[in-house]
Amino acid sequence: MTQTFIGYKPGVGPVLKCLKYDTDDPLTLANTAFDRFFFNSETQNLSYVFPTNPFFYRSAELSTLPATFNITNDRGNVVISGSNIGSTSDAFFNVNTFYRITNAYPNMGYVPMSEFRQVDLLTNRVECGAFQSYYALVGSTNHNVVTARQFYTVMGRLVGTTSDQTTFRTVYNGIISSSQSGFVGMGEWFVWKQQLIYNDNRNPNAIYPSVWDLPADASAMRTYTSAPNLLSLEASSSRFVLSRPGYDVNTTNEFGTIISSNNRSPALCVMNGTENSIPANGSRTIAAPAGVILSQRAVVDVMFRVSGQTWRVPGLLTDTTAAGTWQLSYAVSGNSITFYNSEKDAVDLRYVVFNVDDQPKSTGGNQVIFRGNDGLRDYVQIKKPGTSDPASRPNDILFDSRYPQFQIIAQGFIPISSFGNSSAGDAVYKGARTYRLNFNNAGFVPYLKYSTVFPNCVTTPIYRAERGVDVSNISMLAEVNDTYVDFFCSPDSGWSDAFSQAGSWTRLDYGARIQGVRYYIFGITPN
């Protein structure tokens, strides 16, 4: 049975802790006993995730726009630029979206890790992994390039402009065309997305952005220093606030609180688990916990592997002799989540559903700290004032003794200079350079998030290789084990993309060398 402790720890101050075992002492249990905590506010490396307004790309909205358009919305944080290419059914809208991440979060102090989840509006499925195989017979050689991605997002910083009208590439070098220079400010970070949406609405989709309050580059996480004589905890019928060291409960600094009923809560794992052996072309449905109402905007994270193989980020499928794209996806419906596998391989999934979405607050309750029993166990819940008793919507929940915190076990930046040489076999298929990151694990479930850092650019995980030859210089692959992660890359391979052009095999170099990888090892305490 869990135990919840809200109180004063000598030498530390007010703390909120949820221990997996009621025989442990909350005042003496080591903060590094990650597998024995469901929640521990004393650990300052906490993770937070925010959903932001979605962008819709479909004929219904685009058909009302002029032939060329520039739209600024979401309080100036988003610029949508594009043109209508003809009026026939197979004509399309060429749409570019600039999400101004610095403008949206001006006080964050670093470029945050951002993920753009894409939902197919015909099926309401959100892509959570993709594997693409491209074949080209050039002369007598059959070239095969494979690409894998996870929530693929390119985030760049504007440092200059050019008269060249070329489009953005997978890795951005800090330069945009002068015709687009008015969309973002010099030195500003932004996420760029290009869409081709057909007039006949054959491919309508929406983008669900999620932003983590975590550095995506080499920047340090914030640190906090204790100060005496501050009111650091308020638990009343009107609000619950637990401040950071050096701040009191009335701080106006949005990052000065650990939990605040004003809308600040660390990421909690409302749902998490591992689903093994989902068959090719099959699916698996998982119901939400009793009393929790999910929405389509629920923030879901997924790692996957071919059943029985090593966990990888991004996930890889097996070699194929066919060209095509294979996707893994999920959909929220009927208060459950269904994961859909491609027709390629049986896969295992490791998933997390967080306590954030874009639902409005529930109503009708009068408690902030709620104690109840869900039919299986007693629990303590801290929630936003005025929400239902108990809170039924993930966004209303600030803390719940049933739901483990998405706790950071290890984090940092690994410069490319720290990578060593891979074995000959790994160099061909995974990457010529490798780095092993070790961590202690007494029983938690490890989960990896990382970004690949380039000059003026960070990207979510992408893997690209020409099978049997070598690996692209934009690729980063991670293999996740219980006590270590191996990273692989080939920063000096000399090519970023490869394809057949005018009867020749072309290898294109984007010219942006990997600087390193920013990683976060999360630990989920099993129930």
pLDDT in tens, 32-86: 999 999 999 998 788 999 888 888 888 888 888 888 888 887 777 888 888 887 7
Q: What backbone torsions phi and psi does residue 395 show, to the nearest 5 degrees? A: -70, -15
**Out of 167-181, 250-264, 334-348, which region has the weakest mean confidence (pLDDT)?**
167-181
Domain assignment present for 403: no
Question: How does DSSP assign 262-326, residue by residue?
Answer: TTB---BEEEEEEEEEEPTT-EEEEEPPTT----TT--EEEEEEETTS-EEES------SS-EEE
Reply yes or no: is the peptide bond before residue 390 cis, omega within 30 of 0.
yes
Cβ atoms of residues 66 and 83 within 8 Å: no
226 falls within a domain? no
Predicted confidence (pLDDT) at residue 163 exceeds the cutoff of 90: no
Shared-domain flag, residues 54 and 34: no
Phi, psi (rounded to 5 degrees) for 416: -60, -25
Cα pseudo-dihedral 247, 249, 250, 254, rounded to 10: 70
pTM: 0.94
SS3 label, residue 44: coil
Domain end residue (candidates: 305, 329, 352): 352
- The mean pLDDT of 97-104, rounded to a whole number, is 90
Query: Using alpha carbons only, how large is the chain's radius of gyration in Å?
Result: 24
Joined tokens for residue 308: 């029985």
**406 located within any domain:** no
Between CA 43 and CA 17 the distance in angstroms is 10
Same domain, 333 and 281: yes
Is there a contact between 78 and 72 (Cβ–Cβ < 8 Å)? yes
pLDDT digits (tens, 9 = 90+) for 246-278: 999 999 998 999 999 987 899 999 999 999 999
Quick check: is 85 in a domain?
A: yes
> Is there a contact between 313 and 450 (Cβ–Cβ < 8 Å)?
yes
Distances (CA, A) of 278 to 310, 312, 322: 16, 17, 22
**Coil vs helix vs strand at 428:** helix
In sequence order, the β-bridge partners of residue 243 are 257
Token pair 């929630």: residue = 383
Q: Is residue 256 part of a domain?
A: no
d(CA 340, CA 285): 9
Predicted local distance difference test score (pLDDT) of residue 409: 95
Q: What percent of the chain is predicted at pLDDT more than 90?
A: 70
Query: Do 4 and 57 share a domain, yes or no?
Result: no
Number of compact structural domains in the chain: 4
Q: Let me know whether 150 and 99 are in one domain.
A: yes
Q: Is residue 410 one of the residues assigned to a domain? A: no
Domain contains 334:
yes
Q: What is the chain's length?
A: 527
Any residues with CB less than 8 A from the CB of 502 and at least 6 apart, and which? none
Answer yes or no: do 39 and 57 share one domain. no
Both 71 and 38 in one domain: the answer is: no
Residue 301 belongs to what domain range? Answer: 268-352
